[in-house]
Amino acid sequence: MTEKKRTREEEGIQVDFGLGGLFKGIGNFIDLLSDMTEKGESVVSRTGEFKVEGLDQARGVYGFSVRMGLGGTPTVEHFGNIRATDEGPVVAEEREPLVDVFDEGELILVVAEMPGVEKDDIQIEVQDDILSLSATGERKYVKELLLPSLVDADTMETAYHNGILEVRLGKAS
Amino acid sequence: MSTELGDMFKGLGDLIKLATDLADKVDLSELDEEKIAELRRASQTRVGGMPRGVYGVSVRRGVSGIPRVQPFGNIRRTERGPVVDEVREPLVDVFDEDDVLLVIAELPGVAEKDIQIEIRDGLLKLSTTTKSRRYARELPLPCPVEESTMESAYKNGVLEIRLRKSGAEEGT
């Protein structure tokens, strides 16, 4: 846990052990999404045209994950391929995978959910404390993430099994 | 563009902004030392700590060009607010391919032998018994199917199920 993370912010959503504030926000989020889902279904029988750029070619996915992060800070991470732009949501071809980063003492463990690709299609690059993941093939993924510490790229070990990529990196000494 | 759909997608844009704000704002504000210590202990064990919460939607162009929005994840709405469940609803797509229904579910992290598929009363039930990752989902099928024709394949975290529609001729 770094000192930086422990610094209290004057502003921001209040987080108690029950994750009250954060979850209140998420509750609103889910309420809105559910309303949207219901609305979406209620118009299924209607005809009409609408455009979300890219939706013709691809399925749009948008989500977030919440977990107790390193040092106990709740972290919210996004994943999916719907990006907000000034012109409205756009569905991209590449999807950001759901990624978890674990601090395991000497090691950093990165677990990415990348279903539907082959191991050979996955590219992993490490530069200082930035990990870049991408996959090409039937499904496309791309993600850049900041690791919690500097790592030694030579120590990298990877495994891909049942749609889950695990990357282990030794921390730089 | 229909107004309702326009609103819906404007809504989606707003939601992404809201989620981004959430991610930016979350910090250790207003936590006392005791709670921080408690949280830290919880976070150090990957098993037994609070499960990771996931919530998302998939948006797909439907049969008649109407977008279909489907939620997935393990954050459930309750009267007491959102709750993180151990069991996650997987992302599932159903495709109507003339004589066949094709169901594609994303179940990363489980072994094929741990996946259970059941069809009853027009519902397709998917579940897994893996300890580390548990998935479950019930979804209504859009038409009656011949259960005996079910073929399934699991590869790289993606489950595909093919079911012939009732009344469809074999071999067509």
| Chain A positions in Cβ-Cβ contact with residue B77 (cut-off 8 Å) | 27, 30-31, 34
What ipTM did this prediction achieve?
0.72
State which fold the B86-172 domain adopts: Immunoglobulin-like (2.60.40)
Q: Does the distance separating the beta carbons of B26 and A13 come in below 8 Å?
A: yes
Q: Does the distance separating the beta carbons of A32 and B11 come in below 8 Å?
A: yes
Higher pLDDT, B76 or B62: B76
Query: Which DSSP state fits A7?
Result: P
pLDDT band at residue A128 under the 50/70/90 scheme: confident
Question: What residues does each domain of chain B span?
Answer: 86-172
Residue B130 pLDDT > 70 = yes
Taking only the tens place, the pLDDT of each residue in B48-64 is 345 678 888 787 765 55
What kind and span of H or E run contains B57? Answer: strand B53-61
Mutation site, B3, B25, B34, B83, interface A, largest A CB count within 10 A: B25
Q: What's the mean pLDDT in A138-153?
A: 92
Query: A51-171 — its CATH code?
Result: 2.60.40.790
Highest mean pLDDT: which of A30-39, A100-109, B28-37, B100-109? B100-109
- pLDDT value at residue A169: 96
What kind and span of H or E run contains B40? Answer: helix B33-44
Instruction: Give the residue on A whose Cα is nearest the Cα of B53.
Output: A66
Mean pLDDT of chain A: 72
Q: Does the distance separating the beta carbons of A78 and B23 come in below 8 Å?
A: yes
Taking only the tens place, the pLDDT of each residue in A15-30 is 333 344 444 555 555 5
Residue B168 pLDDT > 80 = no
Q: What's the mean pLDDT in A77-97?
A: 79
Higher pLDDT, B71 or A116: A116
pLDDT band at residue A168 under the 50/70/90 scheme: very high
- pLDDT value at residue B21: 55
Q: Which of A13, A17, A67 is opposite residue B22, by nearest beta carbon?
A: A13
pLDDT band at residue B170 under the 50/70/90 scheme: low
Measured distance CA(A27)–CA(B51) in Å, rounded: 17
Measured distance CA(B64)–CA(B62) in Å, rounded: 6
Mutation site, B1, B2, B3, B5, interface A, largest A CB count within 10 A: B5
Residue B120 pLDDT > 60 = yes
Among A3-17, A49-63, B133-147, the least confident range: A3-17
What is the phi/psi pair of residue A49, to 5°? -115, 145
8 Å CB contact between A35 and B68: no
Indicate yes or no: pTM above 0.95: no
CA distances from B134 to A46, A105, A109, B140 (A): 37, 27, 21, 20
- Distance from the A91 Cα atom to the nearest Cα atom in chain B, whole angstroms: 9
